[in-house]
Amino acid sequence: MADTLQQLLDSPPARAVITRLGVPEATPLRRYEPGQPLLDGPALVGGGGRLRAAAERILADAGAEIRDAEAGGQGALVFDASDLASPADLRRLYEFFHPVLRRLRPSGRVVVLGAPPEGGAAVAQRALEGFVRSLAKELRRGATAQLVRVAEGAEDDLDATLRFVLSARSAYVDAQTVCVGPGESTAPDDWERPLAGRVAVVTGASRGIGAAIAETLARDGAEVVCLDVPVQGAALARVANDVGGSALQLDVTAVDAADSLRSHLLERHGGVDVVVHNAGITRDRTLARMSEAEWDVLMAVNLAAPQRLTEALLEGDALRAGGRVVCVSSMSGIAGNRGQVNYAASKAGIIGLVQALAPVLAPTRTINAVAPGFIETEMTAAMPFFTREAGRRMNSLAQGGRPVDVAETIAWMASPASGGVNGNVVRVCGQNLLGA
């Protein structure tokens, strides 16, 4: 969908008026294309904790250049803060970032590596979160900042996550804290096709974010089963065809949906490796005006179905060892939203599902969630102009995200190399101001 305000900003007279009104201007984000280098400039690495060597190895493996501060034009600033243990130690953040921040290139990356905030270092490690969230708000021109907490013993599980947060795949992910624990990660033979040989099922795949997820997982090598309601059969067949996958017409709320899905996956594919619960609906109305039907149907699609389908795929091990479940939550489920008590409850419930099942699935399988913010889809295109513009601009990147931004985040969580990423909820919202 065209970004009306950006079009106006591109015309000099309109731009003068609009910028005087204080409307933030969006920088086009660097997005991933196959074959693209990891970074758009050399990386500067600092800090002296247990993660620095792993970070330097991962950067080198990915073909990134590591240079000192004098070089300028940095594509990424990576600081290992895992050894910071006291308030006084936090000064090292200032000392590393202050002299070099202005040299960060457009769509550059700031990554702070930390430890879980526990024990004697809890104060300093928890402080990293405030530092990263605020720094993300100061960065300009599409640059982002993330905190990656790595548990003791999980140093070898960092590869997929560090590559993701550094790369253009994380274009619309900003100011997030990702936790990496010890898991069973398998480095792919080819980082451009980490899902080769894997079977994925994506619900709600006929359009919007679901279609982008199917495309992205297929690009990364997966054989994708595209699932949607029978009424979307024609669009679903087109998506399945485009991604070289198969179409499965199924209403996820049907009484026999869980059995049908499990039998289909076992009979046709011998099981499944990646399950993406994307199908979701809205029935927006304030609670006092909401009908019982609007409450019931929404809970059935958005919350009861993902829970039932996941449980059914776990029974009988249809979800194979190394399996990945990824749920689509929403910023509304974190921040709440007027007129969306049903939707926000369902999307917060999804986070509960992830947190409850993560320890059950560990260490061989994982479950995580993405929580999208304002994503440019048919749904957001239908919003009134001013609501849409406000939603689009109220984030640190001053623009809406694209379905592919959600899909790239899901593809990272689905990777066999992401075995240490379990129980995370990652917002794909450009650091939206709501519930931040």
Sites of contact with ligand NAP (CB under 6 A)? 203-204, 206-210, 228-229, 231-232, 251-253, 278-281, 301, 328, 330, 372, 374-375, 377-380
Instruction: Select 57 or 207, whichever has its Cβ closest to ligand NAP.
Output: 207
Is 343 a catalytic site residue?
Answer: yes
- The whole-angstrom separation of Cα 261 and Cα 256 is 9
- The whole-angstrom separation of Cα 390 and Cα 383 is 11
Catalytic, out of 32, 94, 172, 343: 343
Q: At CA 94, angle to CA 149 and CA 59, rounded to 5?
A: 50
Instruction: Select 127 or 209, whichever has its Cβ closest to ligand NAP.
Output: 209
DSSP string, 262-289: HHHHHHHHSSEEEEEE---------GGG
Which segments of 117-202 does DSSP mark as H helices, in order?
122-138, 159-166
Instruction: Select 185 or 340, whichever has its Cβ closest to ligand NAP.
Output: 340
Q: How far is the CB of 255 from ligand NAP (least distance, A)?
A: 12
- The whole-angstrom separation of Cα 277 and Cα 306 is 6
- The whole-angstrom separation of Cα 118 and Cα 66 is 31
Instruction: Select 121 or 299, whichever has its Cβ closest to ligand NAP.
Output: 299
Instruction: Select 6 or 282, whichever has its Cβ closest to ligand NAP.
Output: 282
**What are phi and psi for residue 43, nearest 5 degrees?**
-100, 145
Q: Is 252 helix (H, G, I), strand (E, B) or coil?
A: coil
- The whole-angstrom separation of Cα 186 and Cα 105 is 32
Q: How far is the CB of 337 from ligand NAP (least distance, A)?
A: 10
Distances (CA, A) of 145 to 61, 101, 102, 171, 396: 22, 11, 14, 11, 11
Q: Is 251 helix (H, G, I), strand (E, B) or coil?
A: coil
Q: How far is the CB of 390 from ligand NAP (least distance, A)?
A: 14
Query: Which among 345, 377, 409 is positioned nearest to 168, based on CA atoms?
Result: 409
Instruction: Select 292 or 378, whichever has its Cβ closest to ligand NAP.
Output: 378
Q: How far is the CB of 218 from ligand NAP (least distance, A)?
A: 17
The dihedral over CA atoms of 358, 369, 269, 417, expressed in degrees to the nearest 10, equals: -70
Q: How far is the CB of 97 from ligand NAP (least distance, A)?
A: 32
Q: How far is the CB of 435 from ligand NAP (least distance, A)?
A: 12
Q: So which residues are the catalytic ones?
A: 343
